[in-house]
Amino acid sequence: MLAVFLGVGAAACGSSASEPISKLVEPVDVRTGWFDAGVENGMNKLVPTVTLTLKNVSSDPVANVQLNAVIRRVGETEEWGGAYQKVVGMDAIPPGGTTKPIVLRSNLGYTGSEPRAQMLKNSQFVDAHVQVFAKHGGNQWTKLGEWQIAREMLTQ
């Protein structure tokens, strides 16, 4: 099961505190791929990863943001792994401002004895996609976006 849970609890100042997070921030500079997670039980390990930046698109500062990324293999409905992250604490993203790049990396992935670049070309390799959800304060989780995990190696 690969799910990436991004925890971004965003409490904003003023009237935006009750706005859905999708009206306060948007993901920008999104990049996906497979990260070399080292060796596990003598096998090379690759894990799906999404890197993004959140941009404050509201007129108020946005704080207390949580992200939850859910990764599934293509053609499957069950989560394959996951990661959760509190992205913005009490230090708010100013209006028009952005976060530093946020890396969401699953703890689950593929292992194999072949070189990592070859693993991506293996006939048994199944592609994956990620859905990123966010919330702030007591609001509900809201989907910010969905992307295919690129079949390429990431170095960070």
Q: Mean pLDDT for each consecutive 10-residue tract of the chain (156 residues)?
A: 38 56 95 95 95 96 94 95 85 93 94 92 94 90 96 89
pLDDT at 146: 97
Task: Select from 3.40.50.2300, 2.60.40.10, 3.30.1180.20, 1.20.1250.20 the CATH code of 11-150.
Answer: 2.60.40.10
Burial class (CB in 10 A: 0-12, 13-18, 19+), 25: buried
For position 105, what pLDDT does the model report?
A: 95
The reported pLDDT for the residue numbered 3 is: 41
Identify the pLDDT of residue 156.
Answer: 74
Token pair listed for 65: 């943001």
Q: Tell me what pLDDT residue 16 has.
A: 57
Domain ranges within the chain, ordered by starting residue: 11-150
Query: Which pLDDT score, from 0 to 100, does residue 17 have?
Result: 61
Which residues on adjacent β-strands are paired with residue 33?
Answer: 49
